[in-house]
Every structure is written in structure tokens, then in C-alpha cells.
Amino acid sequence: MGNFKPGDKAFIVESNRAVREVTVIRHSGGMYLIRFAEGGGIQVREHRLFPTQEEATASIQTDKGKPKRHHTPYDYEH
């Protein structure tokens, strides 16, 4: 992670699953205002921004070795 300046491209991980490219608009007090390519924006801390898509993808936490289990209302006993 590095210091980003206004106009820099960066990448952010959303919901620990999707990587999106963003543009840094402003940096103030440890927070970055970023804009999405599709429009809109949010304010995030620096640790949420990555300089490359590869670094952002590598930060996604996975549960390797754990079986995925999707619960339905019928899985629970009354």
C-alpha cells in the first residue's frame, strides 16, 4: 500500500469478493475520497486501497479447506 495522490488509479475490494478500479479524488486526515468508474464514490481509509489489481485480489480471504454450506429454512429443527 502506498500514498495515493488525487488522480491516481487504485483498486478496492468490495464485500471480500469483488475487485473494482477507482480513482482517488482527495486525501484528507487518513481518509481517501474515491470515485468509481461507473459514477458515485465513497470515502475509505488507506488500508482499503491497493496499487494493483493483483494485490487487491491476493487480499481476498477465502475459507479453503472448509466446505461451503448453504442453509435453508428446512435445515433447522424446531
Classify domain 1-60 at the CATH topology level.
Answer: SH3 type barrels. (2.30.30)
Domain boundaries, the chain: 1-60
Q: pLDDT grade, residue 53 (50/70/90)?
A: very high
How do strand 49-50 and strand 31-36 relate by DSSP bridges? unpaired
The mean of the pLDDT values for the chain is: 86
In this prediction, residue 69 carries a pLDDT of: 63
**Cα–Cα separations (whole angstroms), residue 15 to 18, 29, 42, 75:** 7, 24, 14, 26
pTM: 0.74
Q: What is the mean pLDDT of residues 19-26?
A: 96
Higher pLDDT, 21 or 68: 21
User: 9-22 in b/e burial notation, b at 16+ Cβ within 10 A?
Assistant: ebbbbeeeeebeeb
Q: Radius of gyration (Cα) for the chain, nearest Å?
A: 17
Q: Residue 48: how many CB atoms within 10 A of its CB?
A: 18
